[in-house]
Amino acid sequence: MEAVIKVSGLKKSFNGVEIIKGIDFSLPKGKVLGIIGPSGSGKSTVLRCLSQLEKVDGGSIEICGQTLVKKGLYCSKQEARKIALSSGLVFQNFNLFPHMSVLKNIMDPQIHVLKKSKEEARETALKLLDRMNLSERVDYYPCQLSGGQQQRVSIARALALNPQVLFFDEPTSALDPELTGEILSVIKDLASEKMTMIIVTHEMAFARDTSDHIIFMDGGVIVEEGQPVDVISNPKQERTKLFLSRFSS
């Protein structure tokens, strides 16, 4: 099966401290990879490297058949920009533009990045907002929305750029428990439509039920990986067992 993401020997340090210590993984098209682990394990840093928010110190990354970095050496800036268009990142803190309406938050990236006309961008935005059950909020500003609504706008904005793969960085961590379910439901719908995704999450039941493959990270390495039911319900490594003992199934 065609791999959308290929990572080998990935390394990343901050101030001389190695946060990611040479990890390898791949993600086939139409599959969902869940990454779990304690805070500081390197989970979010992996996503930031894949989405070019951080530069790696070593290793190789391929996204949608294009080489972003090979053995620590990056492709040209022009090629990197093209690769960036093939993926979308949904942040834990929404990252919406506070001075723009919901509609404009979704239209503007299409106009400036994809060079769409305002009419095209508006049509796409309205379709996505309807899909997110936000048709009645098009003229609202982010401060007028609940956290769950803001996160749904963030997902719509990412989808508007028509990415081949979506990255989610703890998409429910900034939400009240009662709002978490609506975001998890949206992501499950995307999974059912065979959207290729990498999801960093602390929602263990969600990771187990939605992912095709699970990686458990700790200390910058992959401690254990495999089928969700095996890793989460029947882990083999003691470190994984200790981590998961804090969560109820």
pLDDT tens sequence across 116-161:
999 999 999 999 999 999 999 999 999 999 988 999 999 999 999 9
Q: Determine the pLDDT at residue 176.
A: 79
Q: Determine the pLDDT at residue 116.
A: 95
Stretch 81-93: mean pLDDT = 90
Identify the weakest region by mean pLDDT among 75-89, 163-177, 219-233.
163-177
| CB-side neighbour CA atoms (13 Å) of 30 | 5
Q: Determine the pLDDT at residue 70.
A: 96
Identify the weakest region by mean pLDDT among 46-55, 84-93, 189-198.
84-93
Stretch 217-244: mean pLDDT = 94
Give the pLDDT band of residue 248 (cuts 50, 70, 90).
low
* pLDDT score of 62 more than 60: yes
Stretch 155-172: mean pLDDT = 93
* pLDDT score of 249 more than 70: no
